[in-house]
Amino acid sequence: MNANDEDRVEQARPGTMRTVRRRLAAGLVAAAVSTISGAAIAGDFYVRGGIGLERPAESTFADLDCSSTSPAALYGCGRGSDGAPYRSRGGFGTTPALEAGLGYIAGPAGRLELLVEYRPRLAFEGRTNFLAPERRQTVTADLSSVAVMLAGFLDLPGLGLPKLGPFDPFVGAGTGIVRTTIGETRMMFPRTTTIVPGASRSGFAWMVTAGVATALTERATLDLAWRYTDLGAVRTGRGEGRVVWRDGSREPRLLDLAATRAKLRSHGLRLSLRYAF
C-alpha cells in the first residue's frame, strides 16, 4: 500500500485514533472558548515562554506517486528485501522545542492563548530497504518547523475539581498552521550517495496537552506539561537530485525527482513560565 492508499484508508475510518485526537483537540478548544466567553470581560493578559524535549514518532518517507516517471519517483512501486514497499524508515531522536505565547485569562477556569512553537532541528536518521539488510543504505536529513496555533486551556480547579497539593492540573488543545523545512536528504549506499532536494511546506497542525501549574508569585506561574503534537506531513523537494560516486570514478548523475512525504508527530515534556500583567 503506498502513501496515497494509506491516506484514503485513514480518511475512510472516522473512528481512527487520528480522528479521535483531532476531535478531542477541537472539543477542548471549543470548551475553553465557551468558558471564556461566558465569563466576565475583565481578565488578565499574560506572556509565556517555555522549553521542552520531544521524541517524535518513527516515520516513513515514501513516494507521493510510486508510478511517476516524469518527474521520477524516488522509490518506485517495488518491494524491498524486507517485503515492504520501497521506502526510508527511521526516527528523529530527541529534539528541543521552544515556545512563546500571549494569553488571556477570563474567569477561574478558562485561558485562551496565541502560541508559537519552534523546533530548530529535527535530525532524521533511518535506512532504506533497496538492498539486503546487512548492506549500507543509511538515510539522513535535517528539518526545522515553526507552528502558530490558537490554544485553549481549562484549569480544572476552576471547574470545582480538586487541586493536587500545591499544583493545579490543566488540560488544553490547539489548532493552527505549521511551516516545515527539510534540507537535502542523503542516501548512503556502498559506493554512491543519492542526494534528494529539500523543500518547505505549510500545513495544518494541532496539539493536545495536560499538565500541572504552581504559583511562584502573585503574577508568575510555572507550568509542567506533557504535549502531543501532530505537525502534518513533511515533503522533500520536487526537482534536481543527483547520484554521486564517492571515489570519483564517474561524473555525478542528475535526477529529476518527484516529491516524497513523511508524517511528523511527536510527544514530550514542556516547562514554561507564565507572567500575568
CATH annotation of 3-123+148-156+163-178+203-231+262-276: 2.40.160.20
pLDDT value at 69 more than 90: yes
Q: What is the pLDDT of residue 265?
A: 97
- Give tens-digit pLDDT for 87-103: 999 999 999 999 999 99
What integer best gives the mean pLDDT of the chain?
88
H helix or E strand, kind and range, residue 191: none
Q: What percent of the chain has pLDDT over 90?
A: 81
Residue 90, Cβ density class (10 Å: 0-12 exposed, 13-18 middle, ≥19 buried): buried
Q: What is the pLDDT of residue 6?
A: 40
Per-domain boundaries in the chain:
3-123+148-156+163-178+203-231+262-276
Cell of 272: 514554561
Residue 24 CB-half CA count within 13 A? 16
Q: What is d(CA 268, CA 236) in angstroms, rounded to the nearest whole number? A: 25
Location of C-alpha cell 542523503? 186
User: Higher confidence at residue 1 or residue 48?
Assistant: 48
Cell of 103: 494569553
